[in-house]
Structure 1
Amino acid sequence: MQFQKSTFNFLKDLEKNNNRDWFTEHKPTFTEIQNHVKEVFAEIQVNLEKHDEIEKMKIYRIYRDVRFSKDKTPYNPRFAVSFSRLGKELRGGYFLQIKSGETFLGGGFWQPEKEDLFRIRKEIEQDATEIREILSDKNYLKYFGGKFDGEELKSAPRGFDKEHADIDLLRKKGFIAIRNFTDQEVLSENFLEELDKSFKALRPFFNLFSDILTTNLNGESLV
């Protein structure tokens, strides 16, 4: 099971012809490609469930909500899917976007709830040693470059010392790991295997943050 070149070709054509008339004319092609992509996404979930507990898979619609956007193009020329981990005790989620020249996988905590973000920051403030160990782990370095991606504040969050030794982590508004792929890599026979290796490399990160978010600063369970 693997992604096909026709998927990229369709998405590139859609990007050039992002209007309802063109899409309606090519809807049968879209449906055929979408069905195949869904099968590949399902295979990815099967692989994930061999080493993690997945609560649900969400496939994102290609139709854009343009009501509050300056960009009125009706379609998002990509295929995307996310996988949520099971229950309150297993935090973190996996994400994959398939788009020519812009394929990437992501994992972690994007726009975490206010309470969760505060709890993570308090952990960092108290002792960021274990988080630093995750970032320097050989597999995390190999696949994700030893850093967290995502938006960050220009200064320290309110109530935190701007001179703190771990201010780079405290400024983070989310904690995300991202790995980009070329079209050639996506179309290779071993892409799903490489994808799964990347997801496995996220587990120490997920395990630590799950522990943080289910305990207080004294290490006492909250669930």
Structure 2
Amino acid sequence: MSFSELFEFLHELNGHNNKEWMDEHRKLYHEVRDFYIEWLNELDIKLAKIDPDYVPTTGKQAINRINNNLLFHPNKPVYKDHFGAGLDKEKGKGDFYIHIGINECFVAGGFYRPRKELLDSIRAAIDYNGEEFLKILNKKSFRDTFGALIEEEKLKTSPKGYDNDHRYIELLRNKTFAVTHDLTKQQILRDDFQEHLVRVYKEMLPFRNYLNHAVTV
């Protein structure tokens, strides 16, 4: 089994997105899923070696369900067009997310639309020491790897309790504190794909550490 076969499975699933097709190909699905879980187990071990605060996360714990939640999104297809997985998982903290699909592939980390308590904690940390966060965001290797923060649903005014002329107002207006790194299919199919993700993880680590510290202190 390989990532090439994983992509082939996702393409087939996308073209026959129904339970009947999945039931007929359930054995193949489990073979693909088991391959990816084992691959995640190997990556989990490598990440644990470079980060003393890493929370070991087995591939089975990391991988997301391939079924869409039709209760809340009834218009979505029955099955997703990707495999998603989150490593370094700990409740209340941002994980290291890997998204491998037929339409987009990327890794991400941080907090995507966090609940109010977490968002308030992140803003408080920026208010107290935004200079450290800016240094992380503006580091050349970080910007080359991730670009800028994801900016969506950004406040047009200042958050409650902060002045419009606050030194870090542009950061404080964010509702999401996360970054992404796009992956190509060619990168995923290479033998050194795990090593590439290890390098991305290292580059993202100060960013995630800052945010995780903000929501736990």
Alignment TM class, shorter chain as reference: 0.7 to 0.9
- Residues 72 and 209 (structure 1), Cα distance of their counterparts in 2 relative to 1, 3 Å cut: closer
Q: Is the 8 A contact 2:153 2:175 kept in 1?
A: yes
Letter in 2 for 1:173: K
Identity %: 31
Q: Offset at 1:211?
A: 3.4
Q: Distance in 2 between matches of 1:68 and 1:120?
A: 28
Matched, 1:58 2:62: yes
Q: What are the residue-to-residue correspondences of 1:40-189 with 2, within 5 Å? A: 40-52=39-51, 53-56=54-57, 57-85=61-89, 91-145=93-147, 147-155=148-156, 156-189=158-191
Identify unmatched segments of 5+ residues in structure 1. 216-223
Q: Distance in 2 between matches of 1:24 and 1:214?
A: 44
- Which structure has the higher relative contact order (CA within 8 Å, separation 6+)? 1
Letter in 1 for 2:86: S
Identify unmatched segments of 5+ residues in structure 2. none
When structure 1 is superposed on structure 2, of 17-26 and 110-119 the one drifting more is 110-119
Q: Is the 8 A contact 2:81 2:103 kept in 1?
A: no
Q: Offset at 1:173?
A: 1.2
Q: Offset at 1:95?
A: 0.5
C-alpha root-mean-square deviation of aligned residues, in Å?
2.2
Q: Distance in 2 between matches of 1:153 and 1:86?
A: 26
- Residues 65 and 212 (structure 1), Cα distance of their counterparts in 2 relative to 1, 3 Å cut: closer
1:220 corresponding residue in structure 2 = none
Letter in 2 for 1:12: H
- Residues 47 and 150 (structure 1), Cα distance of their counterparts in 2 relative to 1, 3 Å cut: farther
Q: Secondary structure in 1 aligned to 2:179? A: strand
Q: Offset at 1:186?
A: 0.9
Q: Offset at 1:141?
A: 1.8
Q: Distance in 2 between matches of 1:209 and 1:32?
A: 36
When structure 1 is superposed on structure 2, of 189-198 and 150-159 the one drifting more is 150-159
When structure 1 is superposed on structure 2, of 79-88 and 183-192 the one drifting more is 79-88
Q: Distance in 1 between matches of 2:200 and 2:177?
A: 16
Q: Would you say how many aligned residue pairs link Structure 1 and Structure 2?
A: 211
Q: What are the residue-to-residue correspondences of 1:200-211 with 2, within 5 Å? A: 200-211=202-213
When structure 1 is superposed on structure 2, of 206-215 and 37-46 the one drifting more is 206-215
When structure 1 is superposed on structure 2, of 77-86 and 101-110 the one drifting more is 77-86
Q: What's the TM-score, normalizing by structure 1?
A: 0.85
Q: Is the 8 A contact 2:66 2:82 kept in 1?
A: yes
Of Structure 1 and Structure 2, which has the larger fraction of its residues in helix? 2
1:199 to 195, 201, 214: 201
Q: What's the TM-score, normalizing by structure 2?
A: 0.87
